[in-house]
Amino acid sequence: MKKGLMDGYVGVKFEHERSPLDAPAQLEALWPHFRLAGMVLGGHGMAHLNGGNMSARLGDGFVVTSSGSNLGILEPGELVYVDGCQVEPGRVRYRGPVLPSSEAIMHHMVLAAHPEAGAVVHAHDAALTPAAMERAGLLQTRREEPYGTVALAQRALEAFASGRDLIVLVNHGYVCVAESLEAAVDRIVATHLRLSE
């Protein structure tokens, strides 16, 4: 597996502000969980280049993979603490030297809508064909939206309003909300295996 960026990736699309505060010390304790979750996704072919992102709730904010990171081969320093989001006009405040994932606003909105959840995982999967999704009864968003936009996050929230913990973003892949990174990845992998049968 090698690092790289997907075609069409232009970086984050939101305004960003780096906080003068240091990231919480607990961020380092989450690193092994993120690394393992990414390796599991990569082992099932769902960590192509910089496709996908993951977050875990921490304190009043959340930890998310950095912009352009490759989930299957995450490196130390590729986790970012987000301590504030303004959905409109699309602004993210973060702590650390690297920018948060282009989908940071989506992670913020999904976690805010699911106060019981501890993590959100977004992963791409070549097995997500229309026929396979219909066969598996997966719920897909109503329409495609550009990555990194509030509109995409809103489509995700609309789909999650069905009460499901895993939805599919049209042409973007899975988004799963769960109590932990491990639980979200397990759910995604189980779905992937079912689609691959």
User: What confidence score (pLDDT) does residue 129 get?
Assistant: 85
| CATH architecture of the domain formed by 15-196 | 3-Layer(aba) Sandwich (3.40)
What is the model's pLDDT at position 174?
Answer: 93
13 has a pLDDT exceeding 90: no
Residue 1 confidence (pLDDT): 67
10-14, 67-71, 179-183: lowest mean pLDDT where? 10-14
Give the rounded percent of residues in the chain with a pLDDT score beyond 90: 69
When pLDDT is cut at 50, 70 and 90, the band that residue 64 belongs to is: very high
Mean confidence (pLDDT) of the chain: 91
Q: Which DSSP string do the residues of the chain spell out, in sequence order?
A: ------TT-----SEEEE-SSPPPTTHHHHHHHHHHHHHHHHHTT---TT--EEEEEETTEEEEEBTT--GGG--TT-EEEEEEEETTTTEEEEESSSPBPTTHHHHHHHHHH-TT--EEEEE--TT--HHHHHHHT--B-SS---TTSHHHHHHHHHHHTTS-SEEEETTTEEEEEESSHHHHHHHHHHHHHHHH-
Q: In the predicted model, what is the mean pLDDT of residues 113-117?
A: 96
User: Looking at residue 4, what is its pLDDT?
Assistant: 75
Mean pLDDT across 64-84: 94
Would you say the pTM of this structure is higher than 0.75? Answer: yes
Q: Among residues of the chain, what percentage have pLDDT more than 70? A: 99
Each residue's pLDDT tens digit, 165-196: 999 999 889 999 999 999 999 999 999 998 88
Mean pLDDT, to the nearest integer, of 115-121? 97
Q: What is the mean pLDDT of residues 131-156?
A: 89
Structure confidence at residue 17 (pLDDT): 93
What's the whole-number mean pLDDT along residues 40-57? 91
